[in-house]
């Protein structure tokens, strides 16, 4: 079942890079008591993800925070090492938290898995952006296949 506006976010654990190496970060830690924009990209280093999607949220982080967003997180079905390197290469710094959903467990829990096996990329997460207020989805913007419109930072910013 696909998550929808008004639903509570599922419990899950992401991998993040900490100062001393890979660590765990729970969905509870991410969403409890905060307003969060969760962005999902099909893959780190892929063209649209690297040139438009993640950079848009990095560039607009300040404006999103002015509109009441406490945190911005970007997840992808990649391992923690790839997500960390991608965040460094895009200069995400502390503006966007990079979350590794290495096996796609969280994408599946959301019902937003993408079958990219035809492109040699396996199972991934769909491209989307959602606003989560204290663990409850208040906005959900899922892209149509091959599109990049409703999940952009600019669209999310305009919707707040």
DSSP label at residue 8 = B
Give the tokens for residue 81: 């090492």
Q: Which conformational region is residue 133 in: left (phi greater than 0), alpha (psi within -120 to 50 degrees), or beta? A: beta
Catalytic, out of 30, 49, 58, 110: 49
Active-site residue flag, 90: no
Which stretches of the chain are assigned E, i.e. beta strand? 13-18, 21-26, 35-40, 71-76, 97-100, 113-115, 123-125, 128-133, 136-142
The structure tokens 């969060």 sit at: 36
Catalytic residues: 49
């Amino acid at each position: 079942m696909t998550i929808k506006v008004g639903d509570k976010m599922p419990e899950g654990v992401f991998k993040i890079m900490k100062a001393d190496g890979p660590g765990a970060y729970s969905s509870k830690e991410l969403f409890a008591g905060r307003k969060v924009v969760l962005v999902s990209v099909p893959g780190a280093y892929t063209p649209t993800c690297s040139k438009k999607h993640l950079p848009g949220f990095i560039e607009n982080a300040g404006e999103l925070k002015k509109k009441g967003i406490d945190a911005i997180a970007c997840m992808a079905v990649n391992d923690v090492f790839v997500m960390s390197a991608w965040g460094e290469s895009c200069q995400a710094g502390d503006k966007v938290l990079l979350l590794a959903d290495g096996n796609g467990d969280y994408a599946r829990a959301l019902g937003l898995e993408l079958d990219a096996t035809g492109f040699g990329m396996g199972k991934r997460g769909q491209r989307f952006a959602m606003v989560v207020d204290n663990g409850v989805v208040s906005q959900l913007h899922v892209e149509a296949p091959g599109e990049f419109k409703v999940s952009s930072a600019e669209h999310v910013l305009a919707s707040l």
